[in-house]
Amino acid sequence: MLYLLGVVVIALAILISVSLHEAGHMLTAKAFGMKVTRYFVGFGPTIWSFRRGETEYGLKAIPLGGFCKIVGMTPQDDDVEPGDEKRAMWRYPVWKRTIVMSAGSVTHFALAVIAIWLAAMFMGLPNKNLPNPLPAHVKVVDCVIPTDAARECAPGDPVSPAKQAGLRDDDKIVAVNGVQVADYTALVKTVRELPPGQPATISYERDGVAGEVRAGLAAVQRKPLDDPDGAPITVSALGVAGPMLPPGVPANVTYGPVEAIPATAGYTKDLAVGTYEALKRIPDKIPALWTAITGGERDKDTPISVVGASRLGGEALENGVWQLLVLLFISLNFFVGVFNLLPLLPLDGGHIAIAWFERARSWLYARIGRRDPGRVDYLKLMPITYAVILIGGAFTLLTATADIVNPITLFTR
């Protein structure tokens, strides 16, 4: 039940965000005097609608987005009625059209920033003062899984060597057989390089007191650290999980209303950098999506669709990690806001880019004494527009299919 609720919450949050995106276009267009004839949530057959003034508002059957119709977006549009010529969008100054076309993305950014500010006060934001990398504080598990499978302990699984040796949760491992380990990654690498099944001397700190134990390492099958897609090999395992936070160090920090403002700015900056890096990686992740669909392992760093985001929301709520729903809402809104500003038709960024191209070209031609070439002919750009739509549709289908047949799972069930 909680899983289904989480799915619905994320799906509804996305629908509301997209509806507010279109409302941003509509409200700014109306504020400048442009004519908006329709504003609908959803697509397909109309379920319910009403008219107020010159605009029809309503709800359609397929809740996968929304739209608003602004008269005369391009000079080639034939939806301008007699008497409304001056209200056609393309006739307005470029700065007004830019505000209208960017209002959707601005709405997404506003939703994300407000959610970050609220999260900073009531949920907490990641603690930037954490040691980097984290020292090898560990959690002692009950068993080691012999195979390279993400599952819970089962009867017959070997007992954790760390547990048998007397290690405890939050112990800080500092050395293995005298080899210093600075962090959890170094601990895993050092242990794996030891002969499987052989005992090892583990040096640790507990509450500031140094200690040492002997642990008989277990032999397990794991993928190589330097080749995550390679075949599993036999390595040693200590039976610990990590990295764990040092005792008394919080993972998240909460702020007061005023202190939350700079914290929100910092988190937004990190989010912007992360979004930029994610956009750059998309082309490289397409083969990984295809691999996931055809039976391979799903890379957790591959893009997700609305389906995948909703499933992650369901998992988060089912496992009591409601904070993940908030982070999903923030990340999705910020990503959509940035993506929609890319200078490609039919995205809003494409319309903005053309408007400023026209303005720059007119300015240049006036300076060199040539006749203004006028507006861009959108009909000549239709092949490029269709290509972008085709590629975008194929990518959406690819991610949605991967999210259905081989979804990303953050929790072991």
Residues carrying an active site annotation: 22
301: left (phi over 0), alpha (psi -120 to 50) or beta: alpha
Q: What is the DSSP string of 261-325?
A: HHHHHHHHHHHHHHHHHHHHHHHHHHHHHHHHHTTSPPPTTS---HHHHHHHHHHHHHTT-THHH
Instruction: Scan for tokens 């669909």, then name that residue.
Output: 293
| Cα three-residue angle 341-346-348, rounded to 5 degrees | 30
Q: Which residues of 83-107 are buried (b: 16+ CB within 10 A; e: fewer)?
A: eeeebbbbebebebbbbbbbbbbeb
CB 252, CB 124: distance < 8 Å: yes
CA atoms of 137 and 184, how far apart (whole Å): 7
Count H helices, E strands: the chain?
9, 12
CA atoms of 10 and 111, how far apart (whole Å): 14
* 319: amino acid identity, one letter: N
What's the distance, CA 406 to chain centroid?
18
What does the chain come to in residues?
A: 413
Question: What is residue 412's DSSP assignment?
Answer: -
Strands 218-222 and 233-237: antiparallel
Find out whether the peptide bond into 250 is cis, omega within 30 degrees of 0.
no
Structure tokens given for 157: 């699984």
Structure tokens given for 139: 């959690």
CA atoms of 315 and 403, how far apart (whole Å): 13
